[in-house]
């Protein structure tokens, strides 16, 4: 149950109720002071962090700067392979100035570094001289969060109760005073327990067949975007796709609803922009599927359809619109998506050749960028980092000086409203230039019984956000 060691997503979800970070991610993915009350950039490679006073660990010990330094040093020592290593790998060292003030020194400047400060803080004195990797104390976590462990049986369940010494308790009136976390050896056992009435709430990937396991009635279901974002990268240095109007036409010609239905049974959430999972930095927009619009764009930009190709004279050369579409054969969902895209584009007169390859060959395509269009995906993080789309060596071989300039500005911007304006501009550039075509996010479903009351606001980052305000109706 130690959150900096566990790679179990279910453990990570529960640990957010027990442990706290310096900065919390809210339901709309803003940063919110938690164990840190203030933070500022001292210079290009260092940050001052002011810690909250009067915070107690679950055993009554005082929280202080030693705990933060211990946590960062421990995560760094664990190395790559642990989920929070990327948060701290750019940290050179932590300088303790006082019990409630510290300075974090980086190896190099990093845009939006404060988003890295969302890892859980563990107690420096709790483990004494124990080896943290093998300590039995990892099964009985101790944090500073709203809930603390009351009892635990590592094979059956863990009981959490409200932490009456929680620093923010006076500002809320929690209704869920006790949470029983059930432990199952299989998903089948979990579904069976739900059907027998032993669970009020469960979470599952929407790709699983929920209806087959628990039926279609007697519960409420809330679907949210997961972390997996799939998209198309269009090679902007390829002869035909260097034309923006061709990329725009392709975007209008693709039926994402059909792709979702064929490839994922309609269970994914169609989204175009990499921050459209709920981030406050995203402006909600939807591009229509319109094949007539696709043809109109081509025609209005001098393309002529004849002899089964869209053609155009460029520098005395007659170029034709035809596409190679690369997909990794091991990902059956993407293979199905590729076939739908091929059918969509061929309906407007753009021939498509699907190149389905093994993973090693697929990686070679990515390295060499010798494709027209690539179906790919990314696991999004808490930091609203768009450098993979606009930065150097991006998958679309895409260059935009305005976007590059904004990325550089992000090193020094901390004002929320200014950030929103900059990201709005980046989104406009993304949607106009169409170097990328977003497809969808995978889906997480949160299932609650009819007796579950209150409003829970799940996100992929925090599935149980606001659960303290919920309760079970008699």
pLDDT tens-digit series, residues 89-105: 999 999 999 999 999 99
Do 63 and 146 lie in one domain? The reply is: yes
Do 308 and 423 lie in one domain? The reply is: yes
Do 171 and 41 lie in one domain? The reply is: yes
Give the pLDDT confidence score for residue 442 in this predicted structure: 94
Do 155 and 18 lie in one domain? The reply is: yes
Does residue 311 lie within any of the structural domains? yes
> Apex CA 227: angle with CA 222 and CA 232, to 5°?
115
Does residue 216 lie within any of the structural domains? no
Do 353 and 283 lie in one domain? The reply is: yes
pLDDT tens-digit series, residues 361-373: 999 999 999 999 9
Does residue 282 lie within any of the structural domains? yes
Q: How confident is the model at residue 206 (pLDDT cuts 50, 70, 90)?
A: low
Count: domains in the chain: 2
Judge contact between 80 and 88, C-beta under 8 A: no
Torsion over CA of 184, 190, 193 and 194, rounded to 10 degrees?
A: 140
Give the pLDDT confidence score for residue 317 in this predicted structure: 83
The CATH number of the domain where 372 resides is what? 3.10.105.10
Do 152 and 238 lie in one domain? The reply is: no
Do 102 and 241 lie in one domain? The reply is: no
Report the distance separating Cα 151 and Cα 406, nearest Å.
50
Mean of pLDDT over the chain: 93
Q: If DSSP states are collapsed to H, E and C, what string results for 68-102?
A: HHHHHHHHHHHCCCCCCHHHHCCEEEEEEEECCEE
Residue 208 has pLDDT above 70, yes or no: no
Does residue 122 lie within any of the structural domains? yes
Residues in the chain: 474
Element at 250 (helix H, strand E):
helix 244-253
Give the pLDDT confidence score for residue 386 in this predicted structure: 96
Range of the domain at 402: 225-443
Do 143 and 235 lie in one domain? The reply is: no
Does residue 281 lie within any of the structural domains? yes
Do 294 and 394 lie in one domain? The reply is: yes
Report the distance separating Cα 200 and Cα 202, nearest Å.
7
pLDDT tens-digit series, residues 379-416: 999 999 999 999 999 999 999 999 999 999 998 888 88
Do 177 and 233 lie in one domain? The reply is: no
Do 279 and 401 lie in one domain? The reply is: yes
pLDDT tens-digit series, residues 246-291: 999 999 999 999 999 999 999 999 999 999 999 999 998 877 899 9
Q: How confident is the model at residue 154 (pLDDT cuts 50, 70, 90)?
A: confident
Does residue 192 lie within any of the structural domains? no
Residue 474 has pLDDT above 80, yes or no: no
Please state the pTM of the whole predicted model.
Answer: 0.92
207 versus 298: which is more confidently predicted? 298
pLDDT tens-digit series, residues 172-181: 889 999 999 9
């Amino acid at each position: 149950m130690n959150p900096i060691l566990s790679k179990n997503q279910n453990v990570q979800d529960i640990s957010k109720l027990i442990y706290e970070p310096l900065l919390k991610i809210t339901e709309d993915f803003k940063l919110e002071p938690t164990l840190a009350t203030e933070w500022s950039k001292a210079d290009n490679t260092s940050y001052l962090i002011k810690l909250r006073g009067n915070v107690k660990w679950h055993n009554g010990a005082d929280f202080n700067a030693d705990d933060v330094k211990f946590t960062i040093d421990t995560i760094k020592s664990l190395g790559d392979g642990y989920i929070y290593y990327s948060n701290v790998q750019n940290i050179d060292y932590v300088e303790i100035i006082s019990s409630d003030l510290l300075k974090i020194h980086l190896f190099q400047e990093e845009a939006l570094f404060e988003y890295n400060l969302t890892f859980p803080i563990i107690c420096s004195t709790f483990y004494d001289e124990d080896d943290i990797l093998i300590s039995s104390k990892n099964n009985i976590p101790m944090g500073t969060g709203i809930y603390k462990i009351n009892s635990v049986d590592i094979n059956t369940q863990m009981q959490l109760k409200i932490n009456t010494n929680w620093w923010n308790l006076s500002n809320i009136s929690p209704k869920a005073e006790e949470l029983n976390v059930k432990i199952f050896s299989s998903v089948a056992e979990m579904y069976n327990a739900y059907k027998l009435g032993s669970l009020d709430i469960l979470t599952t990937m929407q790709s699983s067949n929920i209806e087959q396991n628990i039926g279609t009635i007697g519960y409420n279901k809330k679907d949210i975007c997961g972390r997996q974002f799939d998209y198309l990268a269009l090679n902007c240095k390829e002869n035909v796709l260097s034309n923006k109007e061709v990329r725009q036409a392709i975007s209008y010609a693709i039926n994402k609803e059909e792709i979702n239905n064929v490839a994922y049974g309609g269970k994914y959430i169609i989204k175009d922009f990499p921050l459209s999972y709920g981030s406050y930095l995203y402006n909600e927009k939807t591009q229509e599927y319109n094949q007539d619009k696709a043809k109109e764009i081509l025609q209005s930009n001098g393309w002529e359809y004849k002899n089964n190709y869209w053609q155009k004279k460029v520098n005395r050369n007659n170029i034709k619109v035809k596409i190679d579409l690369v997909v990794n054969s091991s990902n059956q969902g993407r293979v199905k998506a590729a076939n739908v895209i091929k059918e969509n584009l061929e309906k407007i007169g753009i021939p498509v050749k699907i190149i389905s390859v093994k993973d090693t060959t697929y990686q070679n395509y990515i390295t060499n960028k010798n494709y027209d269009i690539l179906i790919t995906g990314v696991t999004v993080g808490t930091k609203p980092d768009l450098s993979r789309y606009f930065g150097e060596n991006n998958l679309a071989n895409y260059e935009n000086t305005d976007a590059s300039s904004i990325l550089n500005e992000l090193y020094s911007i901390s004002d929320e409203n200014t950030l929103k304006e900059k990201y709005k501009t980046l989104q406009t550039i993304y949607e106009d230039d169409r170097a990328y075509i977003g497809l969808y996010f995978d889906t997480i479903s949160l299932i609650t019984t009819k007796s579950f009351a209150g409003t829970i606001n799940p996100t992929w980052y925090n599935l149980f956000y606001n659960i303290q305000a919920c309760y079970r109706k008699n």
